[in-house]
Amino acid sequence: MDSATPHSTPAFVHPSADVEPGAQVGAGTKVWHIAHIRSSATLGEDCVIGRNVYVDANVVIGSRVKIQNNVSVYQGVTIEDEVFVGPCVVFTNDLRPRAQNPDWKITPTLVRRGASIGANATLICGIEVGEHAMIAAGSVVTKDVQPYQLVAGNPARPRGWVDESGEIVSRDVTLNTRP
């Protein structure tokens, strides 16, 4: 069966995971040890949600997404189909965090289809990661990432361009000149 073909296999939720009432978990999705999926979160089909992953209320995760261990996906984050999120990736949703802030507003983040985010990367809220973009492990992403762009570093800077399989196809860092 093609990985993009829908099927009727029910979702698997490990007994130690907590999927709150009202959360939607798509067919074929696997939610592993001590993961926590909040009410009103939506996960598509055929996802893999690793150990100790937290998915906050109102988060939307597409189909065929893989989120590795120890990732928190906070309210305001949208992850489209076929995205890879490496272990210990950090998403933020507050540009000016304070313990007490009655005027707090969520700042959204969008990760487009097919993007890959390396282990221990941090994404500052308010950005968009383009389709099939690749973020290197340990990067701190403070600005939008263009489709198919490879970024790395702290702060993350353009390092080249990748194809849909993640192979580097160019080291030309000129913006908006994807091969």
* Amino acid 4: pLDDT: 54
pLDDT tens, per residue, the chain with 179 residues: 445 555 679 999 999 999 999 999 999 999 999 999 999 999 999 999 999 999 999 999 999 999 999 999 999 999 999 999 999 999 999 999 999 999 999 999 999 999 999 999 999 999 999 999 999 999 999 999 999 999 999 999 999 999 999 999 999 987 555 55
Q: What is the DSSP string of 19-81?
A: E-TT-EE-TT-EE-TT-EE-TT-EE-TT-EE-TT-EE-TT-EE-SS-EE-SS-EE-TTEEE-T
Contact by Cβ (8 Å): 148, 132: yes
The 8-class DSSP code of residue 70 comes to S
Residue 70 to residue 31: CA distance in whole angstroms: 13
* Amino acid 177: pLDDT: 55
From the number of C-beta atoms within 10 Å of its C-beta (0-12, 13-18, 19+), residue 96 rates as exposed
